[in-house]
Amino acid sequence: MTRFGDFQTLCSQVPSYTWCNLFYRQLQTNDPSILTGLSQPATSAPVGVNPECGIQKINTNGSLGNVANVVACGLSFFVVAALIYFTGRRKAAVGRVELRIFFALYLLTLPFQLITSGSLLTQGSTALVALTAIHAGLVATLFWTLLANAIVATQIVEDGTLSSIIPFSIFAAAFFIATTYISLDVGFTFTQVLGTSNPPQSINSIPLFVFTSIWPGVAALTYFGLMLYIVLGILNEIRPVWYYVIAAILFVLSQLDYFLLSKIICRGSSMKVDGSFIATILETACVVTLYFAWRGITEEDWDNDLYYPS
């Protein structure tokens, strides 16, 4: 029976599910007999724990690693860098500083995603576990900054000032430190409370599951709800709503592709690619759409009337 916080199904059914890197190291240390099939030997093992389908480590049987997602992450990096530049040019726009932080964090997750899900490093290695833990911390922090941008848009506090940036940064640091530590504990089993699964084959961690699966969904849903309220209820605008609706659809499609189609694509390509590259493209498209939505409800120049939803 699957319990709340169990990763066993995700790690076996979803190719390139990044957080499985943490549990591979845990099992390799505590009960290596559980690692079978594609998960052995570690030198060729794909991302996952006994996955039904996975992309083998680069240079194994001619494998190029998760090359499609590597390319998708690389192209997305330049797209998001352009968004950061264009956002900075809108000097009078509300939430400019906070939105640039969100884009910068998403930009930072891309090289980590490239490495941790790219089948480039040996499973169970210290480097892979440490990078995966940092990646988890960045993802949890990313979704806090997404939600914080919606809070800033309500103009409860003035954007770009210390009254906005200080709590914004404190909560961001808290999410990053907590999630990264929990992830390191899962991978290296520092403690029995947070780190070790019981029984081992369940590969269970409720805190990790909450921060990497539940929290992103809650933050995204709350963000879209708040922004729709601001655009419709306060600004009485219709056009920007469509951008937010499209962004929400793209985000949902990226998750459906990742969790439902990835194994099908993996099998269809004879373990050459999986659905992760499509998910990355859709997620980046979602971020781009959020930029256009934000641009549609803010002013570019100081000479124009500023947006104050009050």
| CATH numeric code, 8-296 | 1.20.1070.10
Residue 309: the pLDDT is 45
Residue 6: strand, helix, or coil = strand
Residue 157: the pLDDT is 81
- Alpha-carbon distance of 124 to 22, in angstroms, equals 8
In contact, 179 and 141? CB cutoff 8 Å: yes
- Residue 68 scores a pLDDT above 60: yes
Average pLDDT over the chain reads 92
Encode pLDDT of 196-235 as tens digits. 777 778 899 999 999 999 999 999 999 999 999 999 998 8
Encode pLDDT of 143-185 as tens digits. 999 999 999 998 888 888 888 899 999 999 999 999 999 999 9
Encode pLDDT of 41-56 as tens digits. 999 999 999 999 999 9
> What is the residue extent of each domain of the chain?
8-296
Q: Cα dihedral angle (98, 215, 223, 304), rounded to 10 degrees?
A: 0
Residue 303's pLDDT band, with cuts at 50, 70 and 90, is very low
- Alpha-carbon distance of 271 to 66, in angstroms, equals 9
Q: What is the pTM of this model?
A: 0.93
Give the angle 69-73-79 at the CA atoms, nearest 5°.
145
